[in-house]
A = this chain, B = another copy of it.
Amino acid sequence: MRVVCSFIERTSKAVCQKTSRVYSSFQDCPRYSKALVLLTVSGGGFLAYSGAKSFFGPDSSLQDDRKRVIVLGTGWAGTTFLKNLDSTQYDVKVISPRNYFAFTPLLPSVTVGTVEARSIVEPIRNIIKKKLGNVGFLEAECYEIDAKNKKVHCRSTQKTGLEGKEEFIVDYDYLVVATGARANTFNTPGVEEHTHFLKEIEDAQNIRRNVIDCFERANLPNLSDEERKNNLHFVVVGGGPTGVEFAAELHDFLEEDLSRLYPQVKDFVKITLVEAADHILNMFDKRITAFAEEKFQRDGIDVKLGSMVVKVNDKAISTKERSTGLVQHIPYGMVVWSTGIGTRPFITNFMKKIGQGNRRVLATDEWLRVEGEDCDGIYALGDCATINQRKVMDDIAAIFKKADKDNSGTLTVKKLQEVMEDICERYPQVKLYLKNKRMKNIVALLEESKGDDNKESKEFDIERVKTALSAVDSQMKNLPPTAQVAAQQGQYLAKCFNRMKECDQNPEGPLRIRDEGRHRFHPFRYRHLGQFAPLGGEQTAAQLPGDLVSIGHSSQWLWYSVYASKQVSWRNRLLVISDWGKRFVHGRDSSRL
């Protein structure tokens, strides 16, 4: 049905495109009206008249009363924000070196051709096309944020055709930083030069090409068996979900396709998974970890636990066993590096300027607003930032004061109950703590040490409250750098932007603790919907909400349906599903493209 729609849409859009453009720009600035006459007469004239700047330039739509929103990045956070934003309220510009959104959870599948690269990408302009109002895209990377003057400095990533015009500056009223993270090498020598990361589509394509290269090399004459073995030794560094899924996908590729196409060398193939911790998938339930390790052992994937990579050169990778300190030099054909994420350089510089120089990751408050000087109007979400949850202990006095309306110096249960809800919303760790302690509210916590007498009249002084809440902050955890978190943040922030005006009048958030009145919005709250770990051979481990664990073929089908449904467009959905079908019928393509 939707397919048909999109088809009709395409044809109809073709007709009404120009008129709608005219309409929107007419709203933007009446002074164009003259130009519009030209436009309606002959398309070409318009730009010639109004010139480039008014369309793209730094001072774009200054005459517009609508606020200018700049979105940096077209990943999960940025794209979800854009999709959910009511773009008629703002003048939106998206800036990213990638003119497409990529469904990153399927990257491991792309590395071996289970899914084609183009099936999991959606041109950002296809999304923009469907938005009303004034939304634009610029293919460039931001290299500096000038928070003081509310400007971002950008540079095109293109090599030719822009002599001296690569760089430009764009003004903003609101800046949404969603540039994601880069692979983290922990400054291990040789990693940048000799290993493959698995963060971008290009990485996946390179890996795919390289796997075939390794096989073609090993298949050439006058190599010794030793050299064939080395060329067909695939090393995966990092036992997280990505590394594990890649190892599994690679193993399936070898078993199901390459072993039949390269019969002479298939017995030289070896996969090694190197993990510094004591177990792979250690963010998952123990049962999953155990199952994964057993399955990999059965599959002949050599899992080296508790050993870290200390050096990589063009021929060998050097690992060091944490327990024994033993260093090994292992010859390899290809190394894939997937050991977590690091901060991008331009974010690090930005952090220094706004007084976050001492931090490792850019910090925001619970409303995704960047903390620091001049950061008013700057939001950060996705992998490039973490939420810096306020500690109860830092605010304890203010909390007490807020609750103790009559400044009696003590709190009654009644007083407490009035602010209870706000406190729990403002400090989610309180709720978590109570939940773990199986208590229904703070009162229970305060009473913990005491017998049960008349509640209403009972009073607690600040010391009592302090001791009761002292352990609460231990509950705080950073959110994992996953697509799920980024998408939820993007959606949340878009909702806030859509209701900005309305919530300015009547705030809906919790009480301000160190201040008067209420917060404008509810703080961001992450809802974990579960996580998958595909283990190959049509088996997947799924950790679902409520510590439910499901392992095997059934969860593989759950995985298929979830990943198909999560695609950003029907186009992607159909492509991905047909790719899965193709693979079942014809196997994966082994052409070296």
Q: Knowing A217-B158, A222-B52, A593-B100 are in contact, say whether A260-B13 is a contact too (CB < 8 A).
A: yes
Determine the distance from Cα of A51 to Cα of B165 in the docked complex, in whole angstroms.
Answer: 59
Instruction: Verify if A40 is at the interface (C-beta below 8 Å from B).
Output: no
Q: Knowing A10-B587, A118-B589, A125-B590 are in contact, say whether A138-B99 is a contact too (CB < 8 A).
A: no
Q: Knowing A117-B593, A162-B217, A222-B168 are in contact, say whether A6-B586 is a contact too (CB < 8 A).
A: yes
Q: Knowing A261-B123, A263-B21 are in contact, say whether A585-B7 is a contact too (CB < 8 A).
A: yes
Q: Knowing A122-B591, A590-B123 are in contact, say whether A52-B116 is a contact too (CB < 8 A).
A: no
Which residue, A52, A140, A224, A589, has most C-beta atoms of chain B within 10 A?
A: A52
Determine the distance from Cα of A230 to Cα of B158 in the docked complex, in whole angstroms.
Answer: 15
Determine the distance from Cα of A252 to Cα of B584 in the docked complex, in whole angstroms.
Answer: 34
Instruction: Verify if A272 is at the interface (C-beta below 8 Å from B).
Output: no
Q: Knowing A216-B99, A217-B162 are in contact, say whether A201-B56 is a contact too (CB < 8 A).
A: no
- CB of A208, distance to nearest CB on chain B (Å): 10
Query: Assembly of this chain: how many copies?
Result: 2
B589 to A52, Cβ gap below 8 A? no
Our pick among B56, B160, B222 for the contact of A220 (Cβ within 8 Å) is: B56
Could you say which residues of chain B place their CB within 8 Å of the CB of A47?
225, 264-265, 267-268
- CB of A200, distance to nearest CB on chain B (Å): 10
A582 to B575, Cβ gap below 8 A? yes
Instruction: Verify if A14 is at the interface (C-beta below 8 Å from B).
Output: yes
Instruction: Verify if A509 is at the interface (C-beta below 8 Å from B).
Output: no
Which residue, A3, A53, A261, has most C-beta atoms of chain B within 10 A?
A: A261
Could you say which residues of chain B place their CB within 8 Å of the CB of A220?
56, 138-140, 156, 162, 165, 168
Could you say which residues of chain B place their CB within 8 Å of the CB of A55?
221, 264
Contact with B along A311-354 (1 / 0, CB 8 A): 00010000000000000000001000000000000000000000
- CB of A191, distance to nearest CB on chain B (Å): 16
Near B by CB (< 8 A), chain A positions 461-504 give: none
Which residue, A161, A170, A260, has most C-beta atoms of chain B within 10 A?
A: A161
Which residue, A21, A267, A314, A582, has most C-beta atoms of chain B within 10 A?
A: A267
A219 to B139, Cβ gap below 8 A? yes
Residue tally, chain A, CB below 8 Å to B: 90
Determine the distance from Cα of A201 to Cα of B125 in the docked complex, in whole angstroms.
Answer: 26
Near B by CB (< 8 A), chain A positions 69-123 give: 98-100, 116-118, 121-123
Our pick among B170, B264, B265, B592 for the contact of A100 (Cβ within 8 Å) is: B592
Which residues of A pack against B, CB within 8 Å? 3, 6-7, 10, 13-14, 17-18, 21, 43-44, 46-48, 51-53, 55-58, 60, 98-100, 116-118, 121-123, 125-126, 129, 137-140, 156, 158, 160-162, 165, 168, 170, 201-202, 205, 212-214, 216-217, 219-225, 227-228, 230-231, 260-268, 314, 333, 571, 574-575, 578, 582, 584-587, 589-593
Q: Can you name 10 extra interface pairs (CB under 8 A) apart from A47-B225, A48-B225, A137-B219?
A: A52-B223, A56-B222, A100-B592, A100-B593, A123-B261, A125-B590, A139-B219, A139-B592, A165-B227, A571-B585
